Structures are given as C-alpha cells and as structure tokens.
C-alpha cells in the first residue's frame, strides 16, 4: 500500500484522468521516500472459497456470519473516467454469502481500515514466505502469507506470458515498521497530513500478509497514480481478479476507503469474491462486505 498502502471501478483513461492523477502525483511526491513503506493499508457477504486457483494454498476456516451490515449501492460495471464522489456510507451490495470472517486477520475477507483496526494490533501472520517472483523489496517487505504468495506467483507468471514485467515492491510490514513509517510522516508533515499518506500502526493491510504493492518492470511511476497507465498497472487491473486480487484503493473512492487512488496496492480476497466484485461493478471492500465507510479515524 502506499498511502493507506480495490477492484470494481476501472482506472481513468489516460486522456481523461491524466490531470487529476498528476495532482495526486504532486501530493505524493513530497513523501515519496516514505511512501514505499507507507501503509498500502465494514460486515456481510456469502459462502465462497477464498480462491479457486489450483496454485493457491489452503484458506482459513469458515466462520459463522454475524447479522446486519450497513448498506451500499453497487457502482456501474462499465469503465468510468471520473465517477461522482460516493457517499461516505455504503449501501447493501448483495455480495456472496459470507463464509469467512471480516475481523480475523488470518481470513482472506478481513476488512481493515481507519475504523477497523487489527486484533491483536501486533498481529504477525504465521505462514510468511518469500514468493518466487521478481522482487525489489528486501527483508520483511519481501514476504507474503503463503496463500497470497502462491496467488502472486501464478499472477506474475501469467503477466510474463503476456509480455508484462511486474515487480513486487513492498509486501509484509510489521507493526513496529509501520509505527516507524507513520511516525516519520507525522514528524515531517504533521499528523493530519500523515493520516492521508500512511496507515497508523495496527491499521495497515500490509501487516496481514494479504496485500502487496507492485511496480512496473520499466521502473516508471513507482508508487504514483500514473502506474495505472503503465503495463503492469493496466494488466493487474484487468486480470488481477483471475488470481483473487483487487485494487484496494480505487480512483475517487477515498471517502469510503480513507485513502486516495493506489493502483499499485493489490489485496487478495480469493478468485470468486474478486470476480464477483468485478461482475457486480462493486468498487471497494467496504461496499462489497456491507460495512461502514472509513474516511477518517474514529
């Protein structure tokens, strides 16, 4: 993720969205050095395995769903250059019946955001591994949980067969690393600005092992919105669902997700759920799982 650090809505066409993305790029540039580590960071769908890809490792056990989510209106499935700003409170989305927990960090359907911290806050995945893909990160940032790693390997291989070079730029991030990253933003830019650029420790998807950031093989637009127009960004958005991934922080949905557009931040939720989101034109996990929007911390 990025400036947490999702799926349905398409990235804006280059001719229509370039101006807006340039403005985001200028915003991100001030913290580009830290953005690489930034947090490339709410309940009710239905039974579906986390992934149907044969390469994936086993998924967490199903849990009993809890009632009453909030509501969300599904966005159109067709590509839109710049959608109207969504309501901060999603309406019900008719997602798949819930099979996995939305609060267990070991669940592929976990929803973590500014309203939904990890529990425990210092959670560490039990099955961190280094995927066999091109990696520019080092140390803990080269790790993913085993299910996400297997899916990433399948996705990167498919991209390569299509002539697209994709690089894993940032994976797992521990609580202590996230704390150092966030505190660095606070020290240099103030807390209000830091909260737009980095997840607070215990609120980042990177800590779960279910998410990672990609870069394009040509090294252009790293951790910038213009990655959406580079081969890796275009390919991941169009094909990520085939391997269980969504773009977690889509264009113009920051009032729901809490973070601006991050075409580089991919989140694993399983093939069937990711495909269902795409087919229904649902853009965010908050909308899909029927939980409240999280534009800011409580």
Q: What is the DSSP string of 5-45?
A: ---SSPPPPHHHHHHHHHHHHHHHHTTHHHHTTS-------
Mean pLDDT of 42-70: 37
* Side-chain-side CA neighbours of residue 54 (13 Å): 0
95 pLDDT tier (thresholds 50, 70, 90): low
Q: What is the average pLDDT value for the chain, to the nearest integer?
A: 79
Specify the pLDDT at position 65. Answer: 35
Percent of the chain with pLDDT over 90: 66
Specify the pLDDT at position 47. Answer: 38
Specify the pLDDT at position 14. Answer: 40
On whether the CB atoms of residues 36 and 170 are closer than 8 A, the answer is yes
The residue that leads in pLDDT, 134 or 26, is 134
**In this model, does residue 232 exceed pLDDT 60?**
yes
96 pLDDT tier (thresholds 50, 70, 90): confident
> Is the N-terminal amide bond of 120 cis, ω within 30° of 0?
yes
* Paired strand residues for 60: none
Mean pLDDT of 238-261: 97
24 pLDDT tier (thresholds 50, 70, 90): very low
DSSP 120: S
**In this model, does residue 174 exceed pLDDT 70?**
yes
17 pLDDT tier (thresholds 50, 70, 90): very low
**In this model, does residue 251 exceed pLDDT 80?**
yes
Specify the pLDDT at position 80. Answer: 38
In 3D space, the residue among 298, 288, 297 whose CA is nearest the CA of residue 96 turns out to be: 288
Distance CA 106, CA 117 (A): 14
**In this model, does residue 211 exceed pLDDT 90?**
yes
> What domains can you pick out in the chain, each with its CATH number?
14-289 (3.30.1380.10)
Specify the pLDDT at position 196. Answer: 87
11 pLDDT tier (thresholds 50, 70, 90): very low
**In this model, does residue 109 exceed pLDDT 70?**
yes
Which residues, 6 or more positions from 180, have their beta carbon under 8 angstroms from its beta carbon?
A: none
Mean pLDDT of 234-257: 98
**In this model, does residue 55 exceed pLDDT 70?**
no
Which residues, 6 or more positions from 208, have their beta carbon under 8 angstroms from its beta carbon?
A: 105, 110, 112, 118, 123, 125, 145
In 3D space, the residue among 215, 201, 294 whose CA is nearest the CA of residue 262 turns out to be: 215
**In this model, does residue 276 exceed pLDDT 70?**
yes
**In this model, does residue 103 exceed pLDDT 80?**
yes
Mean pLDDT of 107-115: 98
Mean pLDDT of 257-286: 97
Mean pLDDT of 167-190: 97
**In this model, does residue 141 exceed pLDDT 80?**
yes
* Paired strand residues for 216: 166
Q: Which of 96-110, 113-127, 146-160 has the lowest mean pLDDT?
A: 96-110
Percent of the chain with pLDDT over 70: 68
Specify the pLDDT at position 293. Answer: 98
**In this model, does residue 228 exceed pLDDT 80?**
yes
On whether the CB atoms of residues 207 and 178 are closer than 8 A, the answer is yes
Distance CA 212, CA 205 (A): 8
């Amino acid at each position: 993720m990025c400036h947490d650090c999702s799926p349905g809505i398409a990235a804006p066409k280059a001719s229509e969205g370039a101006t807006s993305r340039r403005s985001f790029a200028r915003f991100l540039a001030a913290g580009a050095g830290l953005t690489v580590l930034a947090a490339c960071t709410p309940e009710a769908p239905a039974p579906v395995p986390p992934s149907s890809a044969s390469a994936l490792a086993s998924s967490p056990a199903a849990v009993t769903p809890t009632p009453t989510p909030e509501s969300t209106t599904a966005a159109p499935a067709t590509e839109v250059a710049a959608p109207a700003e969504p309501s901060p409170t999603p309406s019900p989305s008719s997602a798949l019946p819930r099979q996995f927990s939305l609060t267990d960090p070991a669940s592929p359907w976990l929803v973590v955001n500014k309203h939904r911290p990890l529990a425990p806050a210092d959670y560490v995945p039990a099955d961190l591994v280094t995927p066999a893909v091109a990696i520019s990160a080092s140390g803990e940032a080269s790790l993913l949980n085993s299910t996400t790693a297997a899916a990433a390997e399948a996705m990167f291989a498919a991209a390569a067969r299509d002539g697209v070079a994709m690089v894993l730029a940032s994976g797992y991030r521990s609580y202590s690393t996230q704390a150092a990253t966030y505190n660095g933003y606070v020290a240099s830019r103030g807390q209000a600005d830091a909260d737009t650029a980095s997840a607070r420790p215990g609120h980042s998807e990177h800590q779960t092992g279910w998410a990672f950031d990609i870069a394009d093989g040509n090294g252009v637009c790293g951790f910038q919105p213009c990655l959406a127009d580079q081969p890796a960004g275009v390919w991941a958005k169009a094909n990520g669902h085939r391997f269980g991934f969504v773009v977690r922080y889509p264009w113009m949905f920051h009032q729901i997700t809490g973070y601006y557009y991050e075409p580089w931040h991919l989140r694993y939720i399983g093939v069937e759920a990711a495909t269902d989101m795409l087919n229904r034109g649902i853009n965010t996990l908050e909308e899909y799982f029927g939980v409240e929007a999280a534009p800011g911390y409580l």
